[in-house]
Amino acid sequence: MDSSRISIRPFRLSDANDFFSWAKDDRLTQYLRWNTITSREEALKYLKDVAIPHPWRRSICLDDHSIGYISIRPESGDDQHRAHVGYGVGVEYWGQGIVTMALKMAISSVFKEFSYLVRLEALVEEENKGSQRVLEKAGFQKEGFLRKYGFNKGEIRDMYIYSFLSTDKIV
Amino acid sequence: KSINFQPYIFEPVFVKQKQMEHKEVDDEFSDITLRLFDLSDIDDFMEWATDDQVSRFCSWETYTSKEAATNHIVDVVIPHPWYRAICLKDRAIGAISVTPNEGNDICRAELGYVLGSKYWGKGIVSRAVQMVASTVFIEWPHLERLEALVDVNNPGSQRVLEKAGFQREGVLRKYFLQKGKSRDAVIFSLLSTDPKVNSFM
């Protein structure tokens, strides 16, 4: 994939159709905390109520069309030096290095924007090998295996924890 | 809102470690019980809360006033979902807490503990942790994972967890930012399905 075609930017209401086309896919949302979007109305509402007001959520774009998202959420209070990273991209775009590219863009951008940020962390389910590869290619370090860490879509799941520090080098 | 209270003990590495491990718990220090805090515990609370040695690996600053300590007991300790005084002959010498997560993540809770420095090295926190481990999963049937985060430079506290059967899962880099310095943390977990160490000997 030609990296000049990939960009990250804030979501717009006009992304609703593109957003709906990937957010309605269970194969994408199965590992995410949010539920599959089931209608265009819901897609528009989600953009308006969640994606756009979010402190740091970006659309991953191919030729300026939304094909996925990256979200960075700092912890609150004393832990705000730590932020959680989440991402997803339409199934037809998997395996082309797109999320890795977008993640690298996001990393350099977010450490500049939030100067107090020290640590980005990501939690990935054991069977989600694709997502583990994305993080490793972007330079995240795998730190450990957390047993029965979190509840998602009806089950308590084991997860790998990865991190990227403000002092780490973007590969 | 869940309270992020992460107190840890520090056992000086140069104290006869091997001897400590094989030594049986002194009879004098085996009458350990856990109970709820009360405002009348304030003076005992101040004993460790004002001690720099104790706060060293903790997220909180050493307390300098009885008023601040009282506010902490009223605002944080008493309303907390699971917070107990570690008592020797019913006098509070430390504290142990289990802080649950919110929403769907209530399957997971974080263990924290603190002990007055003159009681270190006698297996007291180990005993308290083992007591908690053998009862909290029964008290909270929805709990599947009890985790603890310990500073990499606090081997005494890591040993407490290992002795209680916790599994070391990894090192989280720059996990804590305490008093302006970032610190790495070792993450440990004990599952409801893991074997529990029996402390009632």
The interface pTM score, or ipTM, of the predicted complex is: 0.91
Q: Is the pLDDT of residue B179 over 90?
A: no
Q: Which of A78, A121, A152 sits opposite B59 (nearest CB)?
A: A78
The CATH architecture annotation of domain A3-165 reads 3-Layer(aba) Sandwich (3.40)
Query: 3-state class of A1 per DSSP?
Result: coil
The CATH architecture annotation of domain B32-199 reads 3-Layer(aba) Sandwich (3.40)
Q: For residue B128, what are the contacts with CB-CB under 8 A and spacing of at least 6?
A: B32, B34, B86, B94, B96, B113
pLDDT of residue A163: 98
**What are the structural domain ranges in chain B?**
32-199
Taking CB atoms and an 8 Å cutoff, what residues of chain A touch B144? Answer: 148, 156
Q: For residue B33, what are the contacts with CB-CB under 8 A and spacing of at least 6?
A: B87, B90
Chain B nearest-CA distance from A115, in A, is 14
Q: Which residue of A has its CA nearest to B194?
A: A147
pLDDT bucket at B200, cuts 50 / 70 / 90: low
Residue B188, strand partner residues: B148, B168
Q: Is the pLDDT of residue B5 over 70?
A: no
Alpha carbons A138 and A131: distance in angstroms, whole number: 11
How many residues are present in chain B? Answer: 201
Taking CB atoms and an 8 Å cutoff, what residues of chain A touch B172? Answer: 121, 143-144, 161, 163
Alpha carbons B174 and B185: distance in angstroms, whole number: 7
pLDDT of residue A76: 87
DSSP summary character for residue B122: S
Helix axes A129-137, A98-113, angle to 10 degrees: 50
- Tell me what percent of the residues of chain A surpass a pLDDT of 70: 100
To 5 degrees, how large is the angle CA B158–CA B179–CA A149?
Answer: 45
pLDDT of residue B14: 38
Predicted model pTM: 0.87
Taking CB atoms and an 8 Å cutoff, what residues of chain A touch B4? Answer: 77-79
**Cβ distance of A149 and B187 shorter than 8 Å:** no
**What are the structural domain ranges in chain A?**
3-165
